[in-house]
Structures are given as structure tokens and as C-alpha cells.
Structure 1
Amino acid sequence: MKALGKILGLVVLGLLLLIVGLGFALTHLFDPNDYKDEIRRLAREKAGLELGIDGNIGWSLFPWLGLELQDTRLASVRTPDQPFANLRMLGLSIRVLPLLQRQIQMSDITVDGLALTLARDEQGKGNWEGVGQPPATTQDQATTAQEQTPETPAGNSDEPDSAAKPLVLDIDSLTVKNSSIAYRDARSGQQFGAENIALTTGTIREGAPVPLKLNALFSTNQPVMRVQSELQGNLRFDTGLKRYQFEGLKLTGEASGEPLKGKTATFSAQGELLADLTAQTAEWNAMKLDINQLRTLGELKAHDLQSEPKFSGTLSIAQFNLGDFLQGIGQQLPAMADDKALDSVELVTQLAGTQKSLALEKLNLKLDGSTLTGRLAIDDFATQALRVDLKGDRLDLDRYLPPADQKDQTASAARKSEVQKTEAGIAAGSTTPLPDKPTQQSWSNEKILPLEQLRRLDTQLSFAVGQLTLARLPLENFSMKARSAAGQLRLEELRSNLHGGQIRANASLDARSDNPQIGFQGHIANVPVEQMLEAKQQKDIVKGLLDLNTKLRTQGNSQRAWVNALDGTLDFALKNGVLVQANLEQQICRAIATLNRKALSSEPRAKDTPFRKLGGSLTFNNGVASNRDLQASIPGLTVKGNGDVDLRVLGMDYRIGVLLEGDKSDMPDPACQINERYTGIELPLRCRGPLELGAKACRLDQDGLTKIATKLAGDKLQDKLDEKIDKKLGDKVSPELKDKLKGLFNR
């Protein structure tokens, strides 16, 4: 037995020496450079490749099958004059014996100076097409040969088992340096590229972590962008399970180009990536994404990758200044009334989406001290189907609205000047002539509504907030619901409390034509009118609790068009009201003193006129509001009015009748004490001029006052005649006859 073992050992040793000697002979006596033409022919016929080898081919056989190519070009046989790859050097070596067991054990693989250039021509054909597809004649021959080849016997099971055995990779390292990739499309003009590619890895072995580092400069021309990036981490893969992991991902870089408008954005991404193609899932755990000062944490999960991909996850954005962030990436926020708006933004939400949709669920948004919660979603990117369901504690919407339009200010400058000239020198109760009606248009002719965008809107909006500041009004318990589709927008419901009162409204906008139609219905109850005027920065010309119901319609796409086409009705009532700086008592007292032919000994001290109720209705016709039923109740007086308010120029022409009801209370001046014969007499006032003047535009109607004086004089004469008749006739005639005689003078 010992002799047999010794003999076998000598045989094995002899075989090894023979193999080593054969490998030495092959590598020194056989030169692959002598077979370049044959290699080119095989590449052309078997792989559809036009192979150009300008450098030397170096090789070794045992125990490593080594290969080194230099100065090599690759092109498709269809476009042999358009190489899509140039390679300065490729070096690799494979251990020979493991190949017999379908194991690929390689040492370092080095790729130096790879230039991959992919291009499509005007017809859409790529310069790489045909690669892997041998010429038709050769392919036909191969097909014929395959058909003529006898089938493998069914009983031979060794070959299938060997073929079914998976390949096992074992590579010491992979190095790619000084390489680039470029792609251009002649039809679209688009170009993409990656330059200065440098890739290094550690040992590449299935199931084990593979250290990886990649550097590259990416670029595109539409738009012009350049991104310098570095990727690091450990790659782990299992080809049998189709499971791939990227552990310790760290991607950093800088981006610049046209979209950034001269700015540079620095970015970094970290986390753990996992793709399980068998389960059709992918995950990005421990996600951290930073862009300049934007800091984001979260995780993302995707499933159904091969059918209808869906994803979900969480996202948290730390507090940041949105304006500064956008400015840092070359973008600019639109001008806002508050230059500190959006200085503080913070977001926490859950994500859900598909290829066509995105939803932010359980959203918690902190915006400049306000907190909003709820849901934001785009149900369909193609139709911009926006869905909003938000609730909040408070929101000052005025901060985010555009500042006052300079054009509007310029357009109304002439009208304001006109008002100022009229107001100069006029005080409440002045005896100067009535101001003239204003003539300057008060509204801008600039287009307001973006009709094309409105026609594309598909929205459903539900919004509620504890306190909303809008147009300087503190709207409490505010809620609204709105929707839009196919160019039709509807405010289905708006509810709010305001200074203890209530507001309700609904509206519609039909933007399907270039002359949009607008409708509005509103209800206001117990709202202090002076608070509304103060919010509009208007003078407090009246105080009281306002009730209002209105139904209006208009058309057009500018302030001027809306006012000029305004039609509808409005009913209002003002309870416990006060006319501010409008001393009707002073006007009335002066009139009574005139009728009494007495001089006032002092001016009344009161500056305002209180009334218990003020009400009426307005009918709007092409921007002019007509009122024929104004009524106001003042202690001792009833005020009636009728006239027009021209909203086009914010002017008024209004007549007021003051009915003396015989107030018997003490008056501050004997000259204006009310005599019984003045009871029931309606004193006339007329208000004309700019609406901003309020009561300052009102004067005692002298013509009407003259008629009253004439009537009073006639009444006084009639009283004297009646007295004489009573004295002369006494009881000599019947009362009926005396009444008839008195009546003769009243005709």
C-alpha cells in the first residue's frame, strides 16, 4: 500500500510539473498579439462588435489566467466608424482551477481611461445598436448549425446539473479611473455626461459587504447643470435571492447650473438601502437628506416594484428659513406684505404615493408660529388633482399676500388728489356749497385672474382654523369648503365669527370663457361695522352692529370690469348705531333757529349722532348702488333717505329727510327748541361728493328749507284766520259750517 501511495504521489507531482511546464511554454511560445485579426473576426461574428486593438495583449495562463488589453476601441458592426467605447487599459486575472467548478476567482480588475460615448442620430438609432447581435449571415448559419445539432439525450443528467449551478464571484478588487460616459440625442439636443469617474472597491464576494467608493462629475445641457458627487458605503448582494443592500450609504456633493442661477447647492444623503426583487420591495431606512440648510430625516418603503409601484414612509424637516433656502438655490419667493414671512417652517408627515400620486398624511406643519395639521395630496400629477384638508390654531394670511399694488396706487392718485382738494377747508356742519361729484375712476384695469391655470384646476379644499387674519379682520372659528373642476370654481361654504358676530358666504366663478362670470351670496349678523372700517383703514364714519344679506353677480377680469358690471341686491340693518363726526343735531338746531328767527347762543357740544336703527336696501345696476328706502330712528327724529352711490368713482348723491317728531326734552339752546307746529316737518339734507368725506359731504338743502318756511308761514296765517272765525261767529253757526269756512282758506 505504501508503494501504491508513493506511486500515486509521483504521478500527481508529474502531472503538476507537466501542467506548469505547459503553461510556461504557452505563455512564452504563444503570443496572442499574433491572433488580433482572428480575435477581431470572432468579436464581429459572435458579438456584433467591431474591435480595434492598437496596443499589446499581455497574458498569463497558470495559476492565473491573466489578460491585459491596451488602446482598444469598440464599435457596433452597424456603425464601425463610430466607436462607442475607447479603453486605454484593461487588466484582470482569473484563477484557472475554480473555473472548472463555475467559480470566478479574480485578483484586481483595473480599468483605466474608459471613454464610453453613446449617441442617437436624427432617426433615433443608437451607435451601440447591433452589439450582441452577430451579422445576419453568421446568425443564420449558427441557427442552422444549431438546428442540425443532435439533441442532448434525455438520460444525460450531468450536463443540466452542471449548467444549472450558479456562478460564484470572488474578486479581490475593482478599480476604474480616468473614465467618462457621455450620451447625446441629435433629435432632442439633450446631452448627459459623467466625467472623472473613479471607482474603487474591496473584495467582491457574494453575501459579504463590499466596500465601495465612487467619484464622478455629472453634467447635462438641458438645463445646463453640473454635479460633483462622491458615494461611499458597503454593498452586499445575494444573486440567488435577488437581494441587494447598500449599508452605510453616504452621498455628498455640490450642484451648480442654470436652475440655480449662479448659486451652489451642497447636498448629502445617508441611510441604509435594501432592494428585494423577489419580494418586489425596496427600502431606504435611517434616511438623512441635507440640501444647504435644509435638514431632513425619515424613511421610505416601496412595494409592487414590477407591477404598480407604491411607496410609503415618514418625513421630518427641521425648522428652517424657507426664503433663505430658496435664495440659496437660485429661487425667489414672490413679494409678500411681510418681509419676514416664511422665516420659520417645520414639517413632520407621513408619505404615501404611486407613480401618479403623492399624499402627505398626518401632516404637522409649523409656519411662523402657526400650526396646521391634516392632509395634503395630489391625486393625479397629470391633472394636478389637488386635495387639501387642513386644520390649524391660527394663521395671519395677510402676511403672505402681495403688498399693495403700486399700479393701483398710481391709478387712484388722481382720485385721491380730487378728494383731498374737496376735503380741504371743509369741517363737519360747514355751510360751504356741496362738493362736486367725483369723476376719477377708482379701480385698476389690470387683469387679475390667471384663466388658463384656473381651467386646469382640479381641487377639493377643506380648511378650518381657530383664528384667521384676512384683510386685517380677525376671523374666529373660520372654516371653508371649496372645489374646482373644468374651469368652474365653487366656494361651497364659508363660516366665521367676527367680533362677536357671524359671517356666512358662498360663491362661484365660471372661468370657461375669457369673460369669467362671478356670483356671490353673503350673510352678516351682529358685526361691529366700525371694526370692519378700521380693518380697511377707513375712517369711522359710522358705528353699530351690522346685519347684511346680499346676492351679487358680475363678470370680467379686472377690478374695473367687476365694479362696472356689478348687479344684484343688498339688504342691511345697523342696530345701536352712531354717525361719527356727523352732528345732525347741530344741522337741525341751526335750521330750527332759522325758522324761529333766533340766533344760536352756543354751539351744540355733541360731535356724533346716535340712532337706534338704520336699515335699507340697495339695488346694484352696472356698478351704481341705488337706495330708495333708507330709514334711521333717532330719539325725537326719523331719518329717511334715497339716492345713489356710484361705486365706479366712489361717489354719492344722496338726499336725507329729517322728520321732527316733537321731542320735548330740554335743548341746550333756546333758539332751537321744537315748537309743536314743527312736529311732522321733514327737514331736507343733501349729501354729494366723494364717499370718503362721509358726513362732511352733507349740507342743509336750502331750496327744501325755503319750501318748509313758506308752508310754516301759511300755516301760521291759517291759524290766525281760524282764530278770527271762532271769535266772530262764536256759537252763531253750527260747528260743521265753521269747519267748512276754515277749510275754504286751506284750499
Structure 2
Amino acid sequence: MVWLKRLGLGIAAIVALFVVAIIYVVVFIDPNDFKQELQDVASKQANVTLRLDGDISWSFFPWLGLELADVGVALGSQSELVKFGKVEFGLAIMPLLNQTVQVDRVKIIDLEANLSVDKQGNPNWSNAATESDVAVENVPSTSTDGSQSPSEPLSLPNIQLDQLLVQNAQLQYRDEQNNMLLKTALDLELNNVRWDEAWPMLLNVAVEKSDLSGQEKIQSNITLGANLSIFPEKEAFSLEGLTLKTETKAAFLPVSPLVASVTVKQVDFDLPQENILIEKAQLTSMGATVSTSINAYQILSEPVFDGSLELADMNPRTLLAKLAIALPEMSDESALTNVSASLAVSGSSKKIQISPLTLNLDQTTLNTTAQVNLDPLYWDISVKGNALDVDRYLPTKSDEVATEVPSGTPAPTSSEVAELLPIELIRQLNGRVSIELENLKVLNLKLDSITAKSTQSNGLVKLEPLNVNLYSGSAMLNANLDARQNTPRISVYPDVKNVQIQPLLNDFMELEKIAGSTFINGNLDLTGNSIESLMGSLSGDLLVEVNDGALVGMNLTKAVCEGIAVTRNESLAKSSFGENTPFERLTFPAHIVDGEISTPGLTIAAVTLKVTGDGVISLPNKSLDYRTNIAFAGSELDNACRVKDTFTKLAFPVVCKGNFSDDPAGLCGPDLAGFGKVFADLAKIELNAKLDAEKARAKVKLEAEKARAEEKLAAEKARAQEKLDAEKVRAQEKLDAEKAKAKAKLKEEEDKAKEKLKNSLKGLFD
């Protein structure tokens, strides 16, 4: 072991010699003596002009410290790019023996950097390489034997930095080509800088961006804190406990200063695996907080990801007000005051899947699952929700006053009419959507539930089918929306069962003229993109049946009785009659052309009435012009309305004419001219009845005389027949007697002949 002892002593001697040499250098050598040599090396090797106006000093053990003051760096003969007020750093001596760079502290004070780009786009740092550098770069690397050697992988030194401080760093970037001036002041602190370990870091940055004249300023203050870990061998890094705060000021910002903060629990990036993991990231600004976690894999080749996103309760109205964004008019000022959402998402570069997206909008909850194929773009979306009042988010319906439009007044252009459907958006749709909603309100219609399956293909939207439960009944609609042309077209094929029509019409268009349980079947076509254009283009055919209903606000019995009373010059006690006309059944086929509804074959069956009629209901003009004929059995409610049985055979005319906005009680009234004709017809009927009675009596008398004559004639015929029959009997008896005598005589003659023949024959044989 003597050689080992000697080896140790030798190493100790070398170390001691090295330490003595360093002490000698520090104590007896002034580093300022080498300023010119350092400047010459920088100029020759890197074409860098190095200004060293301050003193260079150093210290020894346990750190080799070096301090430079008033340092400037320029490229070639250009103006200085970087200036340092002071630079301090120290190296641990003993780790150097193990080829380890361990720095105690690096301190950079009053750093100034001036970068610029001229109008031709040439940066002032573009001359960093000298001709010698270019020559060296173009000479291939060779080995000692003259052969070309391959490039070696980057090898990072084992750096151990206890602290890095950058104080009062000022950086300026001037871009004359883009008329931009950027000024930055920053302070940076890094501690415990070592590979594979966490580096606590703190960064404060103040940034000011403007044009070259100093106008259009944007100022931001940024504070960043985190623990940074770098793993060179794994080619990975990690950020833990990230906090970022920003404050931005600008004249064009609706909120100035705009304050935001970001916190992230963990960020991991692995380059070989192409993975990035973000855990519990949270952004907070202007009363809104968004949280997310993301796992992404193979991000540089075939990205695959999954994650979650959550929006905490917030008031969108408050946020938009801060941003000076005006909301469209809404009928409910409390709408859009509370929103929260959560989202789970996964996918790749070809497909994205959302399962689920939960959106809480005021009192509404919507749950959505979706799958989106990106190439080609196609989606499959399912939405379920409840308690959605769409009307809260639409403008208040204006009260329309019926006024006469002066002739020559131009009709409103399409740009002046609010569009219902986003046509350009519909033309981009391509996918499938299913919807299940409960307690839905839209266009003032209250829907208990709605289920729909829809396909969209480049402007053609199909509903196959749409099922709605509403107003105590149900409706099934197959519908198509074709937005491929300039004017959208809607086709609807309804099948309505047992829907209470009065509350529906009242809610939809404030029309209360009819009540009852309604059944509808047929087809409708509409074109346009507004309520007005849709109602004006409505065309099709429907078969409508209303059971156990009433004509609301109009009493046809009363209208008929008024006509009867007028013809009798009597008065009618109107208070005796109700306001409505109840009926058991109303049926009519409706033929619709451009919003004009004609109903030939209208039939209403009621207890005292049977109504037939025809006319036109105009949806564009919101008016009706209708004539009905009423078969009337009379009314015991008023003596002035007493009728004879003859009246039941008559049809009394009643006209209903006016606007939907008119008083319902005044819409319908008797056609007095028609009533006069009815009573004239009645007089003719009564006269004809008398004539018919006289004719009937004369006919009865004539029939009686005829009967008596026929009876006498029949008696005479009977007596003659009896006498004839007696004569026939006597003649027959006489004939029979004569026949008997002749027969007896013939018999006698035959007997004699037989006897004679017998005797003759007997003589032959004797």
C-alpha cells in the first residue's frame, strides 16, 4: 500500500500547488492588466468590441470571485448593443477539480440592451459573425488522422448555481419597418440552479409597447414565480407552483388596468415521449375564473389529449359591461347574470370527443355530449336540458298599433327586418344533432317537452321527427329547412293531437278567437327569414278539427237573435246572452296561399246552432273577412228571439269582419239585408204552406169521392158476376144431363152391337 500512500501525497502536493498558484494570482496579479488582451481576443475571435471602463477585481476562497464594472459590448464597429453597470460572479474552487462548475452567485446590475431593425428589415445584431467565423464554420471537422469526424452530441456542464440575480435590466427593441418601439425593464432571481432539481425563480417585468413616436402605448407589469426543474439527460422540464400576475394598461382597452392572474400546480414536459401534462391551471380576470387540467401525448407526431375545463359561477353582464361590449336588447334584464360550465374533453388531431359539457345558464341546465370529426368536419351532438326560456334573451316584443299606412309608403327592406335564422352559419353546418328539452319557452309558446333528431348538410336541415308536448296535447312534425338559396324555405308536415288551441294562439300571436281541443293534419310551406315574411308566405293545406270548443268573444246565437229582433221591431236584452259561442265540433279544410287562409266547408255543430261558412283569414294583414250561415233552433233566453218550427229550416247570415286587434264583441254581426231576404223567404214558405194545405184537403175529398165510386162499381160488378156464375152453373148442369143421355144411348147401342157380333161369331163355330 506504499504506492497508494505515495499517490495520495502526490495528489495533495498538486492540489496545494494549485491553491498556491491561485493565491499567487489573486494576490500578486492585477486583472486590469489584461483588459487590452481581453478586448483583443473578443475582437479577433468574435468581432465583438468590448468596452471595459470599470475596474476588474477578484477574490479567493472558498469562492473565486470576479467583478466587472461599466462593461459595454458592440458588434464590430456598430454602436453598443449591451451595457452592464456591474457583473459579479464567483466559482467554487474545489468542484473545478471534478470538472464541475459551481457558481455561488451571479449578479448582473443595470443591464442595458438596444436592439433595432431598420426600414429595410436589417437587424443591428446581424454582423455577429466575422469572416473568420464564417471560414471556421465552413471548414469540416476532422479527426487527428485527417478524416472528417461526425458532430458530437451537445454535452451540458454540471452547473451548480446558488443564485442568479438580474437587477434593473433595461431592454429596448426598435423596429422601423413595423413602426414599433418595445421597452422592457426586468428583475430576475434564480436560486439553487442545478440539473434535476427545482429552481425557485421570481421574475418581474415591465413592458411598454408603442409606435416610434411613443403613441398607442400598451403597458404591462408581469410577476412570475415558480419552481423550475430541468432534466438534461431525460430532455424534460417541470414547472411547479407557477403563479403569474399581469396588469395591462392601454387606451383602447375597455378596462384599464386589466388585471389577470394564472396559477398552475404542475407542468411537465417530456421531449422524447412528446408528452406535456398540465395540472390544475387557473386563470382569473374581471370576475371570471377558468380552471383546466390537460394531458397531451405525442404532441409532435400524432397528438392525443384529454382534459377538463371548468368555468366558475360568474355574471356575464358584469364582465361584458367592464369590456364595454353592449349586449343586444333582452326582454328580461336578469337574463344572462349567472353562468357556470364544466367540460370533459378528449381527442386527437382527427377527432374530438366531449363527454359531457354541462352549462348552467341562469335557471337552465344543459348537458351536451359531442363527437366531432375534423377531416372532413362532421359532428354528432346530443343536448339535454330543462327550464329554458328563450324569450328572456330576445328583444321585447313591441306593441303594434293598427294604423293606416299612407299610400306610396315603401315597404321595409330586408335589411330593416330582424332576421330569425343565421343563414351563413346554417350553410356551414354538417352533422347530426339530437335534442331533449323540458319546460321550454320560445316565441312565447310554452312547451312541456321537446325531442328532436336533426341532420344538417351544407344548408339543408331536416327534422325527422320533432315531437312536442304542449298545451295538454302533442304535436309531431317532420320539417325541412333549406337555406342553400338566398331565401330560406321551410316545409312542415304537422300531426297535432288534442292541443288546446286558445292558450296556444294567445301566447303565440295574442289571438283568442277560438278555443277547444284541436287536431291538425296536412302540410305547410314558408319562405323568408322574419316573422313577417314567414307569415306572408305561408302556404299549404290543412285539415282541422276542434272538439268541445267555443268561438271566444263572439256569440253567434246573440247575433242571430239581434237580427230576428230587428225584423220584428223589437229590442233584445243583450245581457241575457254570454260572450262566447260554445260548440261540440268544428271542422274545416284550410287552403292557405301567401298567408291568406280560406276555409271552404267550415262546419260548426252546436246545441242550438249549425253553422256553415266560408271566408278568408289574413295572417299578413291580421284580419278576417268571414260569412257564416247559421241554422237556428231559437232561444228561450229572450222572447224577442222566439221562433216557429219553420225557422229551424232557415239559415241566418252572420258576417265577421275586422282586425285581430279589434274588440272581439264587435267583429261579428247579423247581415240585416240577408235577414230581410230570409223573412221574405219565410213569407213565401208560409203562403206555399197554405196552398199546400188546400191542395191537400181537395185531394183528400177527391180521393173520398173516387173511393165511393169505386166501391159502387165494385158492388155492381159483384152482382153481375154472381148472376153470370149462376147462369154458367145451370148451363153446365143441362150440358151434363145431355151428355149423360147420349152416353147411356151410346152404351145401349154398343151393347146391342156386341150382342149381335157375339151371335154372329157363335154361328160360325156351331
Q: TM-score, normalised by structure 2?
A: 0.79
- Residues 142, 725 of structure 1: CA spacing in aligned structure 2 closer, same or farther, 3 A cutoff? closer
Match of 1:446 in 2: 417
Match of 1:107 in 2: 104
Q: Is the 8 A contact 1:298 1:316 kept in 2?
A: yes
Code of the residue aligned with 1:399 in structure 2: it is: R
2:54 and 2:235 mapped to 1: Cα distance?
39
Q: 1:538 aligns with which of 501, 504, 510?
A: 510
1:363 and 1:151 mapped to 2: Cα distance?
66
Match of 2:35 in 1: 32
Comparing 341-350 with 169-178, greater Cα deviation is found at: 341-350
Q: Is the 8 A contact 1:180 1:197 kept in 2?
A: yes
Code of the residue aligned with 1:110 in structure 2: it is: K
- Residues 186, 306 of structure 1: CA spacing in aligned structure 2 closer, same or farther, 3 A cutoff? farther
Q: Is the 8 A contact 1:466 1:477 kept in 2?
A: yes
- Residues 332, 130 of structure 1: CA spacing in aligned structure 2 closer, same or farther, 3 A cutoff? farther
SS of aligned partner of 1:668: coil
Whether 2:667 is the aligned partner of 1:697: answer yes
Q: Which structure has the larger Rg?
A: 2
1:507 offset after TM fit, Å? 3.3
1:145 and 1:461 mapped to 2: Cα distance?
63
Match of 1:280 in 2: 274
| RMSD of Structure 2 on Structure 1 (CA) | 4.1
Q: Is the 8 A contact 2:50 2:73 kept in 1?
A: yes
Match of 1:170 in 2: 160
Deviations 1:393-417 (A, max 9, x none): 322222222333x5xx5xx43x2x5
Comparing 59-68 with 233-242, greater Cα deviation is found at: 59-68
1:117 offset after TM fit, Å? 5.4
Match of 1:346 in 2: 340
Q: 2:553 aligns with which of 573, 581, 594?
A: 581
Whether 2:229 is the aligned partner of 1:236: answer yes
Whether 2:674 is the aligned partner of 1:707: answer no
Q: 1:396 aligns with which of 386, 389, 400?
A: 389
Deviations 1:294-350 (A, max 9, x none): 234442222212224343223333322222233334444333221111322232332
- Residues 402, 374 of structure 1: CA spacing in aligned structure 2 closer, same or farther, 3 A cutoff? same
SS of aligned partner of 2:600: strand
Residues 222-371 of structure 1 aligned to structure 2 (within 5 Å) = 225-257=218-250, 260-270=253-263, 271-352=265-346, 360-371=354-365
Code of the residue aligned with 1:211 in structure 2: it is: P
Whether 2:438 is the aligned partner of 1:466: answer yes
Q: Is the 8 A contact 1:312 1:351 kept in 2?
A: yes
2:551 and 2:413 mapped to 1: Cα distance?
27
Deviations 1:665-706 (A, max 9, x none): x72234423322222311111122213334522221123222
Q: Is the 8 A contact 2:613 2:627 kept in 1?
A: yes
Code of the residue aligned with 1:468 in structure 2: it is: L
Gap runs ≥5 in structure 1: 45-49, 420-438, 737-747
Code of the residue aligned with 2:201 in structure 1: it is: L
Match of 1:196 in 2: 185
Deviations 1:266-286 (A, max 9, x none): 322222222222332222224
Code of the residue aligned with 2:443 in structure 1: it is: A
Aligned length: 690
- Residues 601, 289 of structure 1: CA spacing in aligned structure 2 closer, same or farther, 3 A cutoff? closer
Q: Is the 8 A contact 1:57 1:69 kept in 2?
A: yes
Match of 1:64 in 2: 64
1:473 offset after TM fit, Å? 3.0
Whether 2:183 is the aligned partner of 1:214: answer no
Q: Is the 8 A contact 1:32 1:57 kept in 2?
A: no
Match of 1:53 in 2: 51
1:613 and 1:124 mapped to 2: Cα distance?
86
1:204 offset after TM fit, Å? 0.9
Match of 1:519 in 2: 491
1:711 and 1:193 mapped to 2: Cα distance?
101
2:461 and 2:182 mapped to 1: Cα distance?
46
Deviations 1:37-91 (A, max 9, x none): 44223113xxxxx54536447365977373636342445x7xx758765555444
Deviations 1:111-154 (A, max 9, x none): 334445556666666555565x553x653466447459634899
- Residues 6, 333 of structure 1: CA spacing in aligned structure 2 closer, same or farther, 3 A cutoff? closer
Comparing 292-301 with 61-70, greater Cα deviation is found at: 61-70
1:345 and 1:470 mapped to 2: Cα distance?
20
1:574 offset after TM fit, Å? 1.1
Match of 1:484 in 2: 456
SS of aligned partner of 1:724: helix
- Residues 602, 103 of structure 1: CA spacing in aligned structure 2 closer, same or farther, 3 A cutoff? closer
1:329 and 1:620 mapped to 2: Cα distance?
49
Match of 2:145 in 1: 150
Comparing 269-278 with 144-153, greater Cα deviation is found at: 144-153
- Residues 173, 7 of structure 1: CA spacing in aligned structure 2 closer, same or farther, 3 A cutoff? closer
1:95 and 1:385 mapped to 2: Cα distance?
63
Match of 1:47 in 2: none
Code of the residue aligned with 1:68 in structure 2: it is: L
- Residues 283, 148 of structure 1: CA spacing in aligned structure 2 closer, same or farther, 3 A cutoff? closer
Q: Is the 8 A contact 1:441 1:649 kept in 2?
A: no
Code of the residue aligned with 1:212 in structure 2: it is: M
1:610 offset after TM fit, Å? 0.7
Q: Is the 8 A contact 1:26 1:61 kept in 2?
A: no
Residues 562-573 of structure 1 aligned to structure 2 (within 5 Å) = 562-573=534-545
Q: Is the 8 A contact 2:559 2:668 kept in 1?
A: no
Q: Is the 8 A contact 2:471 2:504 kept in 1?
A: no
- Residues 516, 374 of structure 1: CA spacing in aligned structure 2 closer, same or farther, 3 A cutoff? closer
Match of 2:746 in 1: none
SS of aligned partner of 1:625: strand
SS of aligned partner of 2:510: coil
Q: Is the 8 A contact 2:560 2:654 kept in 1?
A: no
- Residues 329, 570 of structure 1: CA spacing in aligned structure 2 closer, same or farther, 3 A cutoff? same
Match of 1:641 in 2: 613
Code of the residue aligned with 1:367 in structure 2: it is: L
If asked which structure has higher relative contact order (CA below 8 Å, sep 6+), I would say 1
Match of 1:496 in 2: 468
Q: Is the 8 A contact 2:46 2:133 kept in 1?
A: no
Match of 1:431 in 2: none
Match of 1:426 in 2: none
1:15 and 1:165 mapped to 2: Cα distance?
27
Q: Is the 8 A contact 2:141 2:148 kept in 1?
A: no
1:330 and 1:355 mapped to 2: Cα distance?
36
1:718 offset after TM fit, Å? 1.6
2:325 and 2:384 mapped to 1: Cα distance?
29
Q: TM-score, normalised by structure 1?
A: 0.80
1:627 and 1:67 mapped to 2: Cα distance?
103
Q: Is the 8 A contact 1:687 1:695 kept in 2?
A: no
1:549 and 1:629 mapped to 2: Cα distance?
16
1:390 offset after TM fit, Å? 2.0
1:725 and 1:104 mapped to 2: Cα distance?
141
Deviations 1:212-265 (A, max 9, x none): 111113455699754322111222222112232222222223234467413444
Match of 1:41 in 2: 44
Q: Is the 8 A contact 2:515 2:549 kept in 1?
A: yes
- Residues 555, 297 of structure 1: CA spacing in aligned structure 2 closer, same or farther, 3 A cutoff? closer
Comparing 599-608 with 466-475, greater Cα deviation is found at: 599-608
Q: Is the 8 A contact 1:110 1:174 kept in 2?
A: yes
- Residues 671, 556 of structure 1: CA spacing in aligned structure 2 closer, same or farther, 3 A cutoff? closer
Whether 2:172 is the aligned partner of 1:179: answer no
